[in-house]
Structures are given as structure tokens and as C-alpha cells.
Amino acid sequence: QKEVEQDPGPLSVPEGAIVSLNCTYSNSAFQYFMWYRQYSRKGPELLMYTYSSGNKEDGRFTAQVDKSSKYISLFIRDSQPSDSATYLCAMMDTGRRALTFGSGTRLQVQP
């Protein structure tokens, strides 16, 4: 079983929809939780970063971490065609200093 599980999609939504992307994990030592966005044939770019449990909001994006359920989410409000990309969750424990990634969810926002 992988340490981090992520539904690969693809997820197709109409423009303006609210998008929910999720990851589950098994390693209780993870303390740092990140979401990266990756456009086709590009490198991943950091979107959101959360330490431990709780919510974090940045514009149209909200990241949630529920450590008791080992479950993290990324919500995108008022989705735009420019949000079409692959979204990767990533996690890190304080000891290793290396990221463990989910396999990524491909999102397509239809105009």
C-alpha cells in the first residue's frame, strides 16, 4: 500500500464549479502538507502549504488537513479553464526532510 493515495481522475467540471481534490495517507508522522499544481510538460509549482491540522485559504483556494482521519483536501472555488492541470498532494515528516507525493489528480475545467 502506498503511503499517500490520490485518485488519478480525470476530473472534468464546468467553469465556475467548486472543485474538491483529496488525498489520504497512512504515515502519522507527516506534519507538513502541500499541494502542487503541474501544467502539462512543466515542473510542479507550489500552490498551498499547511503545517499540521487546520484550514488555510488563499484566494480561490482552500486547503484542509484532518490528521485524525489522515485526510487532506484542496478546494477550488469559481474554477477557471486556467485551473486545468494535474494537482499533486505532498507530505513531509520532520525527520526525513523529503517529500512523499500522491500520484496526482488531473483536472479539466470546461469553458
Partner 1 sequence: IAGITQAPTSQILAAGRRMTLRCTQDMRHNAMYWYRQDLGLGLRLIHYSNTAGTTGKGEVPDGYSVSRANTDDFPLTLASAVPSQTSVYFCASSDGTATQYFGPGTRLTVL
| Residue ranges that bind partner 1, judged by CB under 8 A | 4, 6, 8, 32, 34, 36, 41-46, 49, 51, 88, 90, 92, 97-99, 101-104
The strand ranges marked E within the chain are: 4-6, 11-14, 19-25, 30-38, 45-51, 54-58, 61-66, 71-76, 85-93, 100-101, 105-110
Q: Write down the least CB distance from residue 14 to partner 1, Å.
A: 27
Handedness of CA 41, 46, 51, 52 (dihedral sign): negative
Angle at alpha carbon of residue 59, lines to 55 and 60, rounded to 5°: 85
Q: Which is nearer to partner 1, 41 or 82 (CB)?
A: 41
Three-class secondary structure assignment of 56-70: EEECCEEEEEECCCC
Q: Write down the least CB distance from residue 52 to partner 1, Å.
A: 11
Q: Which is nearer to partner 1, 52 or 110 (CB)?
A: 52
Q: Write down the least CB distance from residue 111 to partner 1, Å.
A: 27
Q: Which is nearer to partner 1, 44 or 85 (CB)?
A: 44
Q: Write down the least CB distance from residue 15 to partner 1, Å.
A: 27
Written as one letter, the residue type at 38 is Q
Q: Which is nearer to partner 1, 76 or 89 (CB)?
A: 89
